[in-house]
Chains A and B, each alone.
Chain A
Amino acid sequence: MTAILTLTVLVLIGIAVWQISKMFELSQTERNTTQVANDKDNDTQGKLMFAFLAFIYILTLYSFYAWGDVLLPEAASEHGSDYDNLMWISFALIFFVQTITQALLHYFSYKYRGEKGKKALFYADNDRLEAIWTIIPVITLAGLILYGLYTWTNIMTVEENDEALVVELYAQQFNWKARYAGQDGVLGDANVRFLQDFEGKNLVGIDATDPNGLDDVVVQELHLPVGREVIFKMRSQDVLHSAYMPHFRAQMNCVPGMITEFAFTPITTTEEMRQNPDMIAKVKKINKIRVENSKELIANGEEALEPYIFDYILLCNKICGASHYNMQMKIVVESPEEYEQWMDQQQTFAQVIQ
């Protein structure tokens, strides 16, 4: 029944638009109007063009005013501040160019709106102007490219070292697991062929014959000690996934059949991030929304939403199937002592398969 009703409504809306268009057409004084613009059209449309410029500016300003607070907070990783700097430099440039070019485009559209009898300026070429607007982008981009490549190389050069913590991020439809290298600091060999060993207890397919693997620790919640470099080794067992940790400005795809790498040093603990003024404001806003939404739920006899407390998150950012949208893992950044304490409570692979 609802089906027929909806279809009817849709058809009616279509007919309504059709008829409104038709009425509009009939009501015009100038019947059989063609597309050729007359002076009156040029005048109106030129002014509208100018108004549109105002619209673009207002939309920009309003968006920052209304939604500026949804943006990610200050980066929680060491390379993150370089990332953020480069981002803001690029944005400053973009806003500068955007403001000026849109102004010229729409102002000219208004200023030079046509009039009958007026003649346009025959101006076909100017090599100097062309040179100027070729060279200026060249110089600007050269700067951006150099800065960008310098930062990129710094971020992406992963050097194995004894200090660093080695963690494997293991992706599958639709959850994450993390494997720590254990006392020896070396991840044991692993392959999907071993997943069925030990009655499914071998969660990430560690090769039990490799002694390096026996002290590995597999967990479902990622804990990281603050201030220590973490080298991530990414794997996937089924389809492409992407390990996305937006607060750390970190992301790398997980590709079945190969191991990918990304490294960063977390510098802000979860607790410190919760005390960040921006984050406090954001969480407050989120909880206000959740209270609002809960009212509706309670009215329907359902349970209210729990208040939100900030935690770092690892998301999947490569389409991977039905529950792609809900493939997440909590990340806890804590002091080295807290981290050691937590690690001591975890079972090693040898303990799990006993």
Chain B
Amino acid sequence: MSTAAHVHEEDHGHHHKETFMTKYIFSQDHKMIAKQYLITGLFMGIIGIAMSLLFRIQLAWPEQSFAIFDVLLGKWAPEGVMDPNVYLALVTIHGTIMVFFVLTAGLSGTFSNLLIPLQIGARDMASGLLNMISFWLFFLSSMIMITSLFVEAGPAAAGWTIYPPLSALPQAQPGSGLGMTLWLVSMAIFIASSLLGSLNYIVTVINLRTKGMSMSRLPLTIWAFFVTAIIGVVSFPVLLSAALLLIMDRSFGTSFFLSDIFIQGEVLHYQGGSPVLYEHLFWFLGHPEVYIVLLPALGITSEIIATNSRKPIFGYRAMVASILAIAFLSTIVWGHHMFISGMNPFLGSVFTFTTLLIAIPSAVKAFNYITTLWKGNLQLNPAMLFSIGLVSTFISGGLTGIILGDSTLDINVHDTYFVVAHFHLVMGISALYGLFAGVYHWFPKMFGRMMNKNLGYIHFWVTAVCAYGVFFPMHFIGMAGLPRRYYTNTAFPYFDDIADINVVISLFAFTAGAAQLVFLYNFIHSIFYGKAAEQNPWKSNTLEWTAPVEHMHGNWPGEIPEVHRWAYDYSKPGQEEDWVSQIVPLKEGEEELQH
């Protein structure tokens, strides 16, 4: 298919005069929307991380009185001791915020919006209006989620997976009252936002590529965003249906997920529903969600590692194939979260099989990253460090997936801290590293200024050491048999000997938290006082660096550049420089060396 070129040639800038409102608030410009996503995402990230630090205090020094609890939690921490319900609320909202608001919207929303039009050579997203609505729905859902923190009985506290009946019955825990209603409303709006965004990304990538930008010349970032959007469109609606059915059960007396319940001295009327049905619906999104979070980070990493190794990404076709394979497999593995849910053990075998298959494309990706570094000329700037860090945590965390994906082994480590350690490394930390790498790399594109390198180095090294310091020992706690979501383990003398591990983990966590302040400082300070950026500071091939530093509506003055080669002609023999922009035509006799 040849590309749909020059869809709208005319310069949008002349059409309407921009006011403060249309430029900064209700902007339809993808670059501004990207910044709005990023800043909202970072704001949510601060809340999410702060919550984790609060419950790390409780885990290291259980049931002790802390003035900070008194201040922040008020009546939920009588005499400064955290209430168990609040502990559960904190882990629930921490999970929800980090998974959806930071790593889905914050990461994918920011970079899909920023990069899709700029890297494929489009004036803007296919629909600026939908894009704007998508952001504001996300903003609204964020605000509702935050509002839920302030309701009388506390926010949702049934774990981020909100399994019914716990989440369905206010009698079961205080957080399942108004807090849970707000959670569900917030998520429903969030899903609408995500769908609008994803549809826009898909349509834009398919229709608005500039002349010469065939699918096989797309940078891997775009492949990752494109496939992520498809997974989102396939799986998010299922979560929406689960949420709606749960709302029906909660508020209208239906029995989709509930049956035979006796609680608080009362037999409830629910008959014939099954919580296992909810688990299926939830994980049909829940597992692809892992890749919705991770693939954009891997896409960003591919771009940054190639640029800064001054080498083509190794195995471009294999990278695309593995993205597609991961995406396909991700939709048929959800049952590995349910091996011991009571579903038929035969299904367990099927899901073990499909789950372990995912290791294959993942291994291909990891080896291709490593080979890209081989014999490179590595420019070890902060973005590159975070990308290498991502590969490291992706391997460390991914490998333990072999244990959890195996139904047999899952029996004894299911829902223990082993799982917590696994998914934090492989999707939490990896995706966060992808977010940071992206921010350091495209900061000049977003804000026209450079961030401070040395603060970036400090940020990376402290974070990298602490990330392993937090999550490596956590595997041991899990292997010792300690379940997750325990307010304290002091109820079991058997676990007394892991108390010191919990202290070590918490100390690393606090240090990591402090390191993020360095990042925040660097980020905010550089927006205003950073050194002015050159047009192409990293000597990168992709199209976004051919656009002027100063943002303009429509991205390029005059015509949209035409593309003549793939994005990875770094250090190509026969070229003077170690990079060749995609807009440079092939020399006479030069082969495109690509598929």
A interface with B by C-beta (< 8 Å) = 2-3, 5-7, 10, 14, 17-18, 21-22, 24-25, 28, 32-37, 41-42, 45-46, 48-49, 52, 55-56, 59-60, 63, 67-72, 82-83, 86-87, 90-91, 93-94, 97-98, 101-102, 104-106, 108-109, 112-115, 118-126, 129-130, 133-134, 137-138, 141, 144-145, 148-149, 151-153, 155-157, 172-173, 191-193, 195-196, 205, 234, 237-240, 242, 244, 246-247, 249-253, 255-258, 260, 262, 282, 285-286, 289-290, 293, 305, 308, 310, 313, 315-326, 328
Contacts and interface: CB of A to CB of B under 8 A. Distances in A.
A155 B473 contact: no
Contact of A145 (B265, B356, B363): B356
Given A34-B537, A325-B491, A93 B360 contact: no
Q: Is the interface of A mostly helix, strand, loop or mixed?
A: helix
A113 B380 contact: yes
Given A101-B395, A318-B415, A123 B312 contact: yes
B570 interface: yes
Nearest to A80: B412
Contacts of A322: 83-85, 88, 173, 487
B370 interface: yes
Nearest to B84: A322
Interface residues of B, number: 149
A108 B374 contact: yes
Contacts of B477: 70
Interface stretch (B107-115, B216-224, B241-249, B513-521): B513-521
A34 to B, nearest CB: 4
A102 B391 CA distance: 9
Given A60-B472, A251-B414, A325-B487, A105 B318 contact: no
A289 B537 CA distance: 56
26 contacts: A3-B70, A17-B518, A21-B517, A33-B453, A41-B381, A49-B388, A56-B392, A63-B473, A67-B476, A94-B403, A102-B396, A105-B392, A108-B376, A115-B377, A120-B571, A121-B375, A122-B312, A122-B572, A124-B314, A172-B262, A237-B261, A253-B340, A256-B258, A308-B493, A318-B163, A325-B489
Interface string B114-136: 00000000000000000000000
B165 A325 contact: no
A279 to B, nearest CB: 10
A249 B411 contact: yes
Contact of B453 (A34, A133, A313, A318): A34
Contacts of B267: 192-193, 195-196
Contacts of A106: 388, 392
Contacts of B388: 49, 105-106, 109
Given A63-B472, A105-B391, A255-B342, A286 B166 contact: no
B518 A70 contact: no
A109 B342 contact: no
Nearest to B499: A289
B366 interface: yes
Most buried by B among A68, A145, A258: A145
Contacts of B451: 35
A126 B372 CA distance: 12
Interface in B268-288: 272-276
Most buried by B among A68, A260, A318: A318
Contacts of B352: 145, 148-149, 152
